[in-house]
Amino acid sequence: QSVLTQPPSVSGAPGQRVTISCTGSSSNIGAGYDVHWYQQLPGTAPKLLIYGNSNRPSGVPDRFSGSKSGTSASLAITGLQAEDEADYYCQSYDSSLSEVFGTGTKVTVL
């Protein structure tokens, strides 16, 4: 079982803003370790979306943004588009378990 908890699903209409939370503890996010986010389209490998809490790799639209505070992190998608429908995972380091991924969140565009 993952030590990073995400909501199973979030949904929104095209153009809306949605946020995905990633809740950890004092042994991972709260210990100061960075949080990274991945987007996984059906049948494909995860793709890096946000690294170092809030940085976007080249080519990732600025509709995607990340933040971190305390023992949690968040991914926001503004101006939701149909192609954003995917699974999203957070990742961090845990002092007892090494690398850990979140439970995953399915984003549905209504």
Partner 1 sequence: QVQLQESGPGLVKPSGTLSLTCAVSGGSISSSNWWSWIRQPPGKGLEWIGEIYHSGSTNYNPSLKSRVTISVDKSKNQFSLKLSSVTAADTAVYYCARKGAIAAAEDFYHYWGQGTLVTVSS
Binding site for partner 1 (CB under 8 A): 2, 33-34, 36, 38, 44-48, 51-52, 57, 89, 91, 93, 96-104
- Rg of the chain over Cα atoms, rounded to whole angstroms, equals 13
Phi, psi of 84 (to 5 degrees): -85, -5
- Nearest CB to partner 1, comparing residues 57 and 79: 57
- Nearest CB to partner 1, comparing residues 84 and 94: 94
- Nearest CB to partner 1, comparing residues 10 and 15: 10
